A and B are shown apart, each in its own frame.
Chain A
Amino acid sequence: MTTAQPISAHKIVELNDVFRPSKSLGQEAWSRLIRNKASVFGMIIIGFFIFLAAFASVISPMDPLKLHGGKKFLPPPFDAGITNIKSEPEFLLGTDSLGRDVLSRTIYGARVSMVVGFLPTAIILLMGTTIGMLAGYVGGRVDNLLMRLTDVIYAFPDLLFFIIVMVSLRDTFIGQLMNGLILLFAALAIVNWVGVARLVRGQVLSLKQKEFVEAARCIGVKDSRIMFRHILPNSLGPLIVSAAFTIPGLIITEAILGYLGVGLRPSTDSTDFFITSWGALMLDGQTAINSQPYMLLTPAVCVALVVLAFTFLGDGLRDALDPRMRGTQ
């Protein structure tokens, strides 16, 4: 975003200050990150939604499953909308087609989006890093196999793959687990680990030629130790950035699948942890776009906010972890 700025006086002093206690790379990156207003904003939003997801049962004003008879499609108190239905003050964002509180349901929906964002990403990182590192370090056949596999997976339009998997395996045993979430996680992970593996492989290929790896090899360090202690920490930066951009992609995917009716199955069992998702809420809300638009707007705004927050954080992380990349888009 900024061009090469003239080095200001205090920076020169800082550079010369040899007695300054040295900071680790992580601390440096962190201090750069929290100077970036957009990413701090992003972190606050993400933190807020994680908080909502974790304490949904305490925060939500009402039971998200309770049907309020005769109070269907109530508009929120602040916006009577274009219908003649009288709003009630206790339903802050109105009620849905069955008379359930929209706000409470949206708060519970945060659980699915947060879990869908973070858990598959963890699996993807673990799988992708391990396989990518092996392919890059060992090379040869393993590497070739990985590259052919990535070619195939890249050829498949992601969203279509998710849809096909969710549609056809929904009624099987695995599709029933946790209202279909397990199947969703598996589908997301299968497609996305490849990108991480390619990224890590590229990193390993370039790092493997570096002097510090050669030095480690000279003093007889074992291969596994070189991979995990010398190469992995040096490729963490791009990995973290790619994770920050993977998470919003997964959240959008879940919302789209939910909207198509092939994502999480909304639950009616109050003992379930995952009751509904933002995508499923939007599917419900689509039918009432005139009478109760907040059924649609509330989850839509939440999706947009979370995704925007992660984009800001990802941009900030990229600048913070690799200062050379600063300003490039």
Chain B
Amino acid sequence: MTTYLIRRLFWLIPVIITVSAVTFIIMRSAPGGPWDTDAERRQVDAATAKSLAAYYGLDKPMWRQFYAYVIGDTNSQTKEYVCGMICGNLGPSYRQRGRTVQDILFAAPEGKTFWQSRFGYSIRLGVMALAMAVFIGIPIGIIAALKQNTIADYAALFIATSGISVPSFVLAIFLIIIFASRLHWVDIVVDDWTQIKYWFMPMIVLGFGTLAFTARLTRSAMLEVMRQDYVRTARAKGLAERAVVFIHMLKNALIPVITILGPALAGLVTGSFIIETMFSFPGMGRAYVQAIGQRDYSMIMGTTLVYALLVAVANLSVDIIYVFIDPRIRLEE
């Protein structure tokens, strides 16, 4: 088990290096340098651009730049060794001068906790959306399975199908127009995200697809479990229906649901950038979209890496959770 885990953790390294290499190559093949694409600002003259490029190491060969980005390199002007991605240094932002990418993403404003940072905001929204999906989706799935082919089942299936097929940003548009623009129940532009009431709309929009997916998964898992012999045995020995459902069925039916929680959370956090932009939510996703708009290449690259790492860790969590909750599964040593 431990060796397996360690091996899987080591497998993350080539994955992250490949992702960063691909991102690096694509970003660097963009025409123009970071200094001349900035049309709105004062243009940088040739000599300054040259020294800037030297300062940031952009005059070195491509492989050296990549090495500096991942491992680290000695700065040619200050003669200081600057550690790269492996120390958590994602490099300077090209647009927000003087700030590094990890600073923008993870550092909270003065006097605030980590949860007030951009990353913290996104994680909190993701966790809330996941909690909503789980606490509403699982009961819907259970009821649908227990009352199969009744109105309740069809209603649940309708929610599931529409939730899976209506993209979240379309849902966001509908909700914003109905509740914010027409009914004035909530504000369109929120500047104070410390108040919890403003979190409901983005949470619902973000979590609805996962809710639908959870309900569908629970329903089909329950339907499968219901036909098992041990459930019939439990009924035959006269257990109360409640005990049969909650102890004998649910325990097994929830295994697939629990294992997808990690990837679902990663999906919610990484997939939230459109929702964050629509609700002007101060999270990592909106920073990413802004970076796209400003062509802030180092910021785009850094955020992509953080996202990729999240997804990779989440996928790893599936295997680990499986081992813990399902004694039938033994991972090969």
Q: How many residues of A contact B (CB 8 A)?
A: 47
CB 8 Å contact bits of A73-98 with B (1 = contact, 0 = none): 00000000010000000000000000
- In Å, the complex CA distance between A82 and B22 comes to 48
Within 8 A of A (CB), among B42-93: none
B30 touches A282 (CB 8 A): no
CB 8 Å contact bits of B214-247 with A (1 = contact, 0 = none): 0011011000000000000000000000000000
A160 touches B31 (CB 8 A): no
Q: Please, which residues of chain B bring their CB within 8 A of the CB of A172?
A: 29-31
- In Å, the complex CA distance between A159 and B164 comes to 17
Q: Please, which residues of chain B bring their CB within 8 A of the CB of A156?
A: 19, 22, 308
Q: Please, which residues of chain B bring their CB within 8 A of the CB of A312?
A: 161
- In Å, the complex CA distance between A40 and B270 comes to 35
CB 8 Å contact bits of B162-173 with A (1 = contact, 0 = none): 101111011001
CB 8 Å contact bits of A256-299 with B (1 = contact, 0 = none): 10011110000000000000000000100010011001001100
Q: How many A-B residue pairs have CB under 8 A?
A: 121
What is the CB-to-nearest-CB distance from B135 to chain A, in angstroms, rounded to a whole number? 20
What is the CB-to-nearest-CB distance from A128 to chain B, in angstroms, rounded to a whole number? 20
- With A157-B311, A168-B26 in contact, do A260 and B167 touch (Cβ < 8 Å)? no
- In Å, the complex CA distance between A169 and B28 comes to 10
CB 8 Å contact bits of A294-329 with B (1 = contact, 0 = none): 001100110110011011100100000000000011
- In Å, the complex CA distance between A262 and B291 comes to 12
Asked whether any CB of chain B lies closer than 8 Å to the CB of A165, the reply is: yes
B18 touches A163 (CB 8 A): no
Interface of B is mostly: helix
B270 touches A160 (CB 8 A): yes
CB 8 Å contact bits of B275-301 with A (1 = contact, 0 = none): 001100000000001001101010011
- With A261-B293, A329-B220 in contact, do A311 and B27 touch (Cβ < 8 Å)? no
Interface residues of B (CB under 8 A from A): 15, 18-19, 22-23, 26-27, 29-32, 148-149, 157, 160-162, 164-167, 169-170, 173-174, 176-177, 181-182, 188, 216-217, 219-220, 270-271, 274, 277-278, 289, 292-293, 295, 297, 300-301, 304, 307-308, 311-312
Interface residues of A (CB under 8 A from B): 1-3, 82, 151-152, 155-157, 159-161, 163-165, 167-169, 171-172, 248, 252, 255-256, 259-262, 282, 286, 289-290, 293, 296-297, 300-301, 303-304, 307-308, 310-312, 315, 328-329
